[in-house]
Amino acid sequence: LEDASIVADWAARFVLQRITQFAPGPGRHFVLGLPTGGTPLGMYRRLIDFHKEGRLSFKYVTTFNMDEYVGLPRDHPESYHYYMWNEFFKHVDIEPGNAHVLDGNAPDLVAECRRFEDLIAAAGGVHLFIGGIGPDGHIAFNEPGSSLVSRTRVKTLAYDTLEANKRFFGNDISKVPRQALTVGVGTVMDAKEVMILITGVHKSLALAKAVEEGVNHMWTVSAFQQHAQALFVCDEDATLELR
Ligand code: F6R
């Protein structure tokens, strides 16, 4: 698509269509996987518009977020809890108990990851997992070298990730959490459908690696070549490196 705003609009209309087609209701929830980051912000705004226009309800939608930092208070402006509540959940009619974000302050982080996988299974699996990627091809916090069959787990973040994220923490690398909880590549692969949003020239190498070379755990997004129903929604800039 032409640019990032058209990608956002397209993605939101795709979500609207999928939820509407499914016709959720009591005992029949649509299950959505969600990312944070800059890329999906425009999509969230459009979804909020659809809700306000009375075209879309989240009353029977259950959500699972991809990841969360370890040890950041929930109300810290960089926590993914804070992001999701402020950018999306509080503006729509989702039941708070149905909006699942990993708890990076859980006393037992391994148990928290297991609980999250169990919740996804109990919800009947994810219908549509939406994701974004980093310039190094990471999906969620599955950095280069992550197992392509990984499940939700605790990850110690690579130095490059800390460097890339320090801009959100007053440019002070010592303030960036060293660990995160993240869904695995395998967790996302299990979704019935996957939609990855990719915009900007800085993601163009990752997009080329993802679709034009072999499946490779150094570019974890390439795993979706083997998904039965995966969709990459890209802007022109992101396609610069495609042959
Ligand atoms: C988000 C996530 C990441 C981001 C990726 C891109 O929950 O896990 O994979 O989608 O880092 O971030 P932005 O959109 O800020 O470029």
How does residue 30 score in pLDDT terms, banded at 50, 70 and 90? very high
Give the integer Cα–Cα distance in Å for 188 and 130: 9
Residues 26-48: what's their mean pLDDT? 98
Q: Is the CB of 134 under 6 A from ligand 1?
A: yes
Active-site residue among 112, 117, 136, 190?
136
Give the integer Cα–Cα distance in Å for 223 and 169: 31
Atom of ligand 1 nearest to the CA of 65: 7
Give the integer Cα–Cα distance in Å for 92 and 103: 22
Q: For the residues of 137-165, what is the DSSP string, one character each? A: --BTTB-TT--TT--SEEEEPPHHHHHHH
Q: Is the pLDDT at 190 greater than 90, yes or no?
A: yes
Q: Is the CB of 181 under 6 A from ligand 1?
A: no
Given a contact cutoff of 8 angstroms between Cβ atoms, the answer to whether 112 and 181 are in contact is yes
SS3 193: strand
Q: Is the CB of 35 under 6 A from ligand 1?
A: yes
Q: What is the pLDDT of residues 48-70, one digit of tens each?
A: 999 999 999 999 999 999 999 99
Quick check: ipTM above 0.95? yes
CA of 140 to the centre of ligand 1 (A): 6
Q: What percentage of the chain carries pLDDT values higher than 70?
A: 100
How does residue 164 score in pLDDT terms, banded at 50, 70 and 90? confident
Neighbours of 185 (CB within 10 A): 24
State the chain's mean pLDDT as an integer. 97
Residues 191-216: what's their mean pLDDT? 98
Write the residue with the smallest CA distance to atom 8 of ligand 1.
140
Write down the number of H helices and E strands in the chain: 7, 9
Q: Is the CB of 36 under 6 A from ligand 1?
A: yes
The pLDDT assigned to 208 comes to: 98
Element (H, E) at 31: strand 30-34
Instruction: Calculate ∠ Cα 105-142-11, nearest 5°.
Output: 95
Task: Identify whether 138 is a catalytic site residue.
Answer: yes
Q: Is the CB of 15 under 6 A from ligand 1?
A: no
Burial of 178 (0-12, 13-18, 19+ CB in 10 A): middle
Task: Identify whether 68 is a catalytic site residue.
Answer: no
Q: Give the Å distances, CA to CA, from 68 to 3, 16, 81.
A: 28, 26, 8
Domains along the sequence of the chain with CATH: 4-234 (3.40.50.1360)
Write the residue with the smallest CA distance to atom 12 of ligand 1.
37
Neighbours of 187 (CB within 10 A): 25
Atom of ligand 1 nearest to the CA of 80: 7
Q: What is the pLDDT of residues 204-232, one digit of tens each?
A: 999 999 999 999 999 999 999 999 999 99
Q: Is the CB of 130 under 6 A from ligand 1?
A: no
CA of 228 to the centre of ligand 1 (A): 23
Q: Give the Å distances, CA to CA, from 209 to 144, 158, 164, 173, 235.
A: 12, 20, 20, 29, 16
The pLDDT assigned to 160 comes to: 87
Q: Is the CB of 132 under 6 A from ligand 1?
A: yes
Give the integer Cα–Cα distance in Å for 115 and 138: 24
Give the integer Cα–Cα distance in Å for 192 and 126: 6
CA of 41 to the centre of ligand 1 (A): 11
Q: What is the pLDDT of residues 110-132, one digit of tens each?
A: 999 999 999 999 999 999 999 99
Residues composing the chain:
243
